[in-house]
């Protein structure tokens, strides 16, 4: 059987591709399981410095697979989760860029909201239409979208289920960039390669975890300040901090030595 989620290494960047092109990459439970597996493999692999998530053209993900017809949203007969990708992209220690290179509908868009950055196609269609289908938005969209786009914009998109394009995605703050569809993946790979070449992996992991933890747990400014201080004390004087300055002075790329697979410690809680 064809794998529904492909993965390849391009330098130090993992390119993960939703791959059901005949169905416009419509989402299935198997796709959710495989995407979670791919994410875990990337997070455990020190060769992977950044991740790009995309879909085989012509779409990013057309939403839930409606092949079962009126049974698509039938009462589940087995374990069910409205957040079928585990771990979600925001829980990884590597930066994740969603290269939304075509239509992203329903869960196709809500899983992209779990990425750290989104580069989206200008003329693709986007929507979170589950309320028009008698169900609810999923993949933690009630948490991610208000934090990305603000409460008013989140309410408009979640409660109307309406369609919008790349220009509106950019205006809402959902897209970091909106580009012609054929430029989306190259731009995402270029950005990921820049992260891989220039950013210390431990620094990126700690900064990403603090960013999402602060949003998730509602930390105060004072709590974030205390955590930033604690994490500075963890990395200051490290081999990577010394190497960064040495490489800068010598005008060369740094050679990082910290390894997430062996050196990672979870953040303290305030």
Q: Give how many domains the chain has, as a whole number.
A: 2
CA–CA separation, 69 vs 103, rounded Å?
21
**179 within some domain:** yes
Of 158, 173, 195, the domain-final residue: 195
Q: How far is CA 223 from the centre of its chain?
A: 25
pLDDT by residue for the chain (270 residues), tens only, comes to: 589 999 999 999 999 999 999 999 999 999 999 999 999 999 999 999 999 999 999 999 999 887 766 666 666 767 788 899 999 999 999 999 999 999 999 999 999 999 999 999 999 999 999 999 999 999 999 999 999 999 999 999 999 999 999 999 999 999 999 999 999 999 999 999 999 999 999 999 999 999 999 999 999 999 999 999 999 999 999 999 999 999 999 999 999 999 999 999 999 998
269 domain residue, yes or no? no
Q: Give the C-alpha distances (Å, rounded to integers) separating 206 from 24, 72, 194, 199, 268.
A: 35, 40, 18, 12, 11
Residue 29 in tokens: 């439970």
Question: Looking at residue 36, which CATH number applies to its domain?
Answer: 3.90.226.10
Pick from 81, 5, 67, 68: nearest CA to 37: 5
Predicted pLDDT of residue 67: 77
pLDDT value of residue 71 = 61
241 and 113 in a common domain: no
In a domain, 268, yes or no: no
In whole angstroms, what is the distance from residue 205 CA to residue 201 CA?
6
Supply the pLDDT for residue 50. 98
20 in the same domain as 132: yes
Do 21 and 46 reside in the same domain of the chain?
yes
* Same-domain check for residues 208 and 137: no
Same-domain status, 15 and 61:
yes
Query: Is 204 found in the same domain as 189?
Result: no
Give yes or no: residues 156 and 92 share one domain.
yes
| CATH number of the domain enclosing 240 | 1.10.12.10
pLDDT of residue 72: 65
pLDDT of the residue at 79: 79
**138 and 211 together in one domain:** no
**Residues 178 and 98 both lie in one domain:** yes
- Give the range of the structural domain holding residue 18, as residue numbers without chain letter: 5-195
Q: Are residues 211 and 175 both part of a single domain?
A: no
């Amino acid at each position: 059987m064809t794998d529904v989620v492909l993965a390849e290494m391009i330098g130090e960047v993992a390119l993960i591709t939703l791959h059901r092109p005949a169905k416009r990459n419509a989402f299935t439970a198997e796709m959710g399981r495989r995407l979670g597996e791919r994410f875990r493999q990337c997070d455990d692999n020190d060769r992977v410095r950044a991740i790009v998530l995309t879909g085989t053209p012509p779409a990013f993900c057309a939403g839930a697979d409606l092949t079962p017809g009126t049974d698509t949203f039938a009462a589940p007969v087995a374990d069910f989760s409205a957040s079928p990708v585990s771990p979600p992209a925001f829980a990884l220690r590597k930066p994740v860029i969603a290269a939304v290179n075509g239509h992203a509908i329903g869960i196709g868009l809500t899983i992209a909201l779990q990425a750290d950055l989104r580069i989206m196609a200008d003329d693709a269609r986007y929507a979170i239409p589950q309320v028009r289908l008698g169900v609810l938005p999923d993949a933690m969209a009630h948490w991610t979208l208000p934090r990305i786009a603000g409460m008013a914009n989140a309410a408009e998109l979640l409660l109307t289920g309406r369609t919008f394009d790349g220009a509106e995605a950019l205006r809402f703050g959902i897209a970091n960039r909106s580009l012609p569809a054929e430029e989306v993946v190259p731009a995402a790979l270029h950005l990921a390669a820049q992260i891989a070449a220039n950013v210390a992996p431990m620094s990126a992991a700690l900064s990403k975890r603090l960013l999402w933890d602060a949003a998730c747990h509602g930390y105060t400014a004072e709590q974030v300040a205390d955590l930033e201080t604690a994490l500075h004390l963890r990395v200051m004087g490290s081999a990577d901090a010394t190497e960064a300055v040495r490489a800068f002075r010598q005008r060369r790329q740094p050679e990082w030595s910290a390894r997430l697979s062996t050196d990672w410690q979870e953040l303290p809680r305030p």
